[in-house]
């Protein structure tokens, strides 16, 4: 079963091909990604209309590139998958429209995939894939969530951000320091040169007794400290960056360890863009080793948004007897979509392979 996946939820256009034949983890055949970072840097953030237009320009050339790398033809594709949400509405519509049109032209079924489910399952493409059940720390863009994952499609929300997510805290704090877009990676790189104990910044909800997150107060504290520094900010910027990163990482690690204790599980998956943070990985590996916990991450090149995770999620849902789209080639997108909402009615994978479901 060959699955072609499209990702266009924000500012990366991703296309991938996976082989989901049999019962094993789907195998990545090829993927290609185009980032719009250079285009959006001039505006200090993502401009939705520009993002949508660029997805239109990139998606078909990337599709041809992926097929060539995988040495497959369009006729070999059994299922076409796309990101249905959450994300920017206009950007999502590009991927959805291309996927549904292509599937209709090929006479093949189409599936809408949850963006966060793609991130959650992406470590299955790594050299050290996890096993069910596990706790997942999802730290992707505007989402920070802890979930218990018993199997594909079975997700119990344990805690989530009630205001700013970890990724937003990185990006917004970086902007307050005058760092370029995208701020998170620039802040992390600058933090390597700073003293993480230089400034005492808050760790919101660290002792709340629950597994929820809140980073808006940290952002406000960074703003206050930056104003206090005034002309000294340029010379103390690395220290402020290091202190900010340390606060975010400490909260993520302690909440994750609390989730492990609450569930009694011994396997943790970290997924999403913030999962690439070197300090988070280093400190999480250290504390997990002491506690006998196995930690799994996506490969670094799959931490950002990508088509591989969408094709993978579609393939794994089909293998599990789940299907994520409505019937036929009409489509909608869901800019706001909770991962633990019901996504679809069950369908047997063999029914899909034979042609259009219905």
pLDDT level of residue 330 (50, 70, 90 thresholds): confident
The domain defined by 132-297 carries CATH number 3.40.250.10: no
Q: What are residue 157's phi and psi, to 5 degrees?
A: -75, 125
Q: Is 125 a residue whose pLDDT tops 80?
A: yes
Q: Is 344 a residue whose pLDDT tops 70?
A: no
- Please tell me the distance from the alpha carbon of residue 167 to that of residue 177, in angstroms, as a whole number: 16
Query: How buried is residue 299: exposed, middle or buried, by Cβ count under 10 Å (0-12/13-18/19+)?
Result: middle
Q: What is the pLDDT of residues 238-262, one digit of tens each?
A: 999 999 999 999 999 999 999 999 9
Mean of pLDDT values over 118-141: 95
Residue among 260, 264, 229, 257 at smallest CA distance from 243: 229
Which carries the bigger pLDDT value, residue 235 or residue 330? 235
Angle at 44 between CA 42 and CA 46, to 5 degrees: 95
Q: Is 298 a residue whose pLDDT tops 80?
A: yes
Burial 208-245 (b: 16+ CB within 10 A, else e): eeebbbbbbbbbebbeebbeebeeebeebbbbbbbbbb
- Which pLDDT belongs to residue 357? 36
In whole angstroms, how far apart are CA 117 and each of 94, 250, 295?
20, 25, 18
Residue 24 CB contacts under 8 Å (≥ 6 apart), including other chains: none
Q: Is 267 a residue whose pLDDT tops 80?
A: yes
Q: Does the pTM of the predicted model rise above 0.85?
A: yes
Relative orientation angle of helices 183-191 and 233-263, to the nearest 10 degrees: 100
Partners of 164 in the β-ladder: none
Q: Do domains 2-120+303-353 and 132-297 have the same CATH topology?
A: yes
Q: What is the mean pLDDT of the chain?
A: 92
DSSP 8-state symbol, 122: G
- Please tell me the distance from the alpha carbon of residue 345 to that of residue 321, in angstroms, as a whole number: 9
Partners of 145 in the β-ladder: 138, 160
Only one residue has tokens 């079963």, namely: 1
CATH code matching the domain that covers 2-120+303-353, chosen among 3.10.20.30, 3.30.420.40, 3.40.50.450, 3.40.50.620: 3.30.420.40
Domain ranges of the chain: 2-120+303-353, 132-297
Q: What is the pLDDT of residues 177-205, one digit of tens each?
A: 999 989 999 999 999 999 999 999 999 99
With pLDDT > 90 as the criterion, what percentage of the chain qualifies?
87
């Amino acid at each position: 079963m060959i699955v072609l996946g499209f990702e266009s939820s924000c500012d990366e256009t991703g296309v991938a091909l996976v082989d989901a034949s049999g019962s094993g983890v789907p195998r990545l055949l090829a993927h290609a990604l185009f980032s719009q970072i250079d285009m959006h840097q001039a505006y200090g953030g993502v401009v939705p209309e520009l993002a949508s237009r660029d997805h239109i320009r990139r998606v078909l050339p990337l599709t041809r590139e992926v097929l060539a790398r995988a040495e497959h033809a369009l006729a070999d594709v059994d299922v076409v998958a796309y990101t249905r949400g959450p994300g920017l509405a206009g950007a999502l519509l590009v991927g959805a429209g291309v996927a549904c049109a292509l599937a209709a032209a090929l006479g093949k079924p189409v599936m809408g995939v949850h963006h966060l489910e793609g991130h959650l399952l992406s470590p299955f493409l790594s050299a050290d894939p996890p096993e069910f059940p596990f706790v997942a720390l999802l730290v992707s863009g505007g989402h920070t969530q802890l979930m218990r994952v018993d199997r594909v499609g079975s997700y119990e929300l344990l805690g989530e951000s009630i205001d700013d997510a970890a990724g937003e805290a990185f990006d917004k704090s970086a902007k307050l320091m005058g760092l370029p877009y995208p701020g998170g990676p620039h802040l992390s790189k600058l933090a390597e040169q700073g003293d993480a104990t230089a400034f005492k910044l808050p760790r919101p909800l660290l002792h709340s007794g629950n597994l929820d997150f809140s980073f808006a107060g940290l952002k406000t504290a960074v703003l206050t400290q930056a104003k206090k520094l005034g002309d000294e900010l340029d010379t103390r910027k690395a220290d402020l960056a290091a202190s900010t990163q340390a606060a975010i990482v400490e909260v993520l690690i302690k909440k994750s360890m609390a989730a492990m204790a609450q569930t009694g599980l011994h396997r943790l998956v970290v997924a999403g863009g913030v999962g690439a943070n070197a300090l988070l990985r280093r400190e999480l590996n250290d504390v997990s080793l002491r506690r006998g916990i196995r930690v799994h991450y996506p490969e670094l090149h799959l931490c950002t948004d990508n088509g591989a995770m969408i094709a993978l999620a579609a393939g794994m849902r089909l293998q599990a007897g789940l299907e994520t789209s409505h019937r036929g080639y009409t489509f909608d997108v869901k800019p706001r979509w909770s991962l633990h909402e019901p996504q679809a009615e069950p369908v047997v994978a063999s029914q899909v392979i034979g042609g259009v479901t219905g």
